[in-house]
Amino acid sequence: DGYKVMTPTVSYPGALAYDGANMWVTNFTADTVSVLRASDGNPVMTPSVGHAPNGIAFDGINMWVVNSGSRSISVMRASDGAQVITASVGAAPHGTAFDGANMWIVNHAANNVSVLHLDPGPHMTYVMTPSVGSHPDGIAFDGANMWVTNSYSDTVSVLRASDGATLATIPVGHEPYSIAFDGANMWVTNWYDGTVSIVRAADFAVVGVVPAGIHPSGIAFDGANMWIANPDNNAVSKR
């Protein structure tokens, strides 16, 4: 019903991810991550990471925190926040997503994606660095392919997860930002247009464009509906 459950305090939050028990929130200006118990919002720990942490994703064991200001990614053990390894990526890294084996990190200023694999040791393997469109931001996995929003190209690049090959480059709205999968379609927020483009994953066809408030940014799926952040309205749209 949209009722506000609680409002835990963090520090200039940028992105968040869930590990099954706790929420991990990147604190962009503090160079830390707030780990909050999901049941009641109480702080569990606040581990330090690199400069200007933004994106974050969970691989089932570790949290991967994208440090946009230091061109790196901090891998942290979810159970206790211990730093496992820090690896370099491209310029201005932003969004990140896990394909079940490798972590994909979007490099906004490099127009490519770093694909990394964590081996025992720990040792970081650089799997590949596929190119995408201009100034990529968001990324999402459909079970076979990675979808990357290209904010300056007004397109979405579809990359085969197994080898990074480009399968399609799909025109969407102006300045696509975030992206989320509903099990059949990808939903792409078009920041400048105030819309969301709905793209069928099976054949890459654009099947709809819906209004989504002023400057839609983040988007997430709850199993039934899409929730879209509207920062200029201080609101969330539910579709």
**pLDDT reported for residue 222:** 95
Pick the more confident residue, 134 or 230: 134
**CA angle centred on 33, ends 6 and 148, rounded to 5°:** 95
Tell me if residue 232 falls in helix, strand or coil: helix
Render pLDDT for 71-127 as a digit per residue (tens, 0 to 9).
999 999 999 999 999 999 999 999 999 999 999 999 999 999 999 999 999 999 999
* Contact of 214 with 236, CB cutoff 8 Å: no
Instruction: State the Cα–Cα distance between residues 112 and 105, nearest whole angstrom.
Output: 9
pLDDT over threshold 90, residue 2: no
State mean pLDDT over 141-148: 98
Q: Are 150 and 134 in contact (CB under 8 A)?
A: yes
Q: Which of 136, 233, 138 is nearest to 194 (CA)?
A: 233
Both structure tokens of 57: 């994703």
pLDDT band, very low/low/confident/very high, at 232 (cuts 50, 70, 90) = confident
Whole-angstrom Cα distance, residue 145 to residue 137?
16
Query: Could you tell me the pTM of the whole model?
Result: 0.96
Q: What is the pLDDT of residues 13-53, one digit of tens each?
A: 999 999 999 999 999 999 999 999 999 999 999 999 999 99
